[in-house]
Chain A
């Protein structure tokens, strides 16, 4: 059974650009959430999607957005990139948002120069 798949794995962007990261959850999983990991702030929750609706949102500026498609795949977008957006972005999936086990992908390493 395939795990959570994230693409791309590594990318370098310039300040001011935008970036889109993609996540395919484990087959059958309908809840997808995103996290940002930085050395200074640790692991922080960005948002969660279930049935194509944003169910929960962390404390991030509006430059961070996401969406979920009918096949449960999800994308997150960061516009007007800043140096501080350099981070590992992790996607996680679970069957339902009801206390099920949450599985993570390998992450997308974003460097903003």
Chain B
């Protein structure tokens, strides 16, 4: 069955520390997409990245980077030199071809607190 696990419930760091948020997924589908979203207190889910199952290239966008490893079914997210503005809840999500693509299965989220 499809599932997304974010084992870290809460992470607390001091500004400028690097932090990695873990995401492990389960799927029987060969075609799927993985997403990361950021949710500030306002509630909106802010899109960060989408990666398809055939593209295992790591990606870097400014202070953000993502490590996708199919061998371990993981899609981890690293924030380098964290800032207070990074404080939010981060969600990893999976969409499968079998699920029609637009049915996102979310992890429980990781609450990140960055302290000055």
Chain A residues close to B by CB (< 8 Å)? 31, 33, 35, 42-45, 48, 50, 55-56, 58, 88, 90, 92, 94, 97-107, 109
Nearest A residue (CB) for B42: A106
Which residues of B approach A to under 8 Å, CB–CB? 31, 33, 35, 37, 42-47, 50, 52, 91, 93, 95, 97, 99-109
Q: How far is the CA of A107 from the CA of B37 in the complex (A)?
A: 14
Q: Which residues of B contact A42 (CB under 8 A)?
A: 106-109
Interface centre among A45, A50, A97, A99 (most CB of B within 10 A): A99
Complex contact A102–B100 (CB within 8 A): no
Contacts of A35 in B (CB 8 A): 104
Known interface pairs A33-B102, A98-B101; A88-B43 also in contact (CB < 8 Å): yes
**B102 and A94 form a contact (CB under 8 A):** yes
CB nearest neighbor in B for A55: B100
- Bound: A43/B103 CA distance, A: 11
Query: Is B35 a contact partner of A102 (Cβ separation < 8 A)?
Result: yes
Residues of B near A107 (CB, < 8 A) are 43-44
The 7 closest A-B pairs by CB, nearest first: A104-B45, A43-B106, A106-B44, A107-B43, A97-B102, A56-B100, A48-B102
Docked-complex contact B106 and A56, CB < 8 angstroms: no
Contact A56 B52 (CB under 8 A): no
Contacts of B97 in A (CB 8 A): 99
Residue of B nearest to A43 (CB): B106
- Chain A residues whose C-beta falls within 8 Å of the C-beta of B108 in the assembled complex: 42
User: In whole angstroms, how far apart are the Cα atoms of A94 and B93 in the complex?
Assistant: 15
Which of B31, B44, B103 has a CB less than 8 Å from the CB of A48?
A: B103
Are A105 and B44 in contact, CB atoms less than 8 angstroms apart? Answer: yes
Which residue of the partner chain B has the closest CB to A41?
B108
Bound Cα distance from A99 to B94, whole angstroms: 11
CA distance A102 to B103 in the complex (A): 10
CA A106 – CA B83 in complex, angstroms? 23
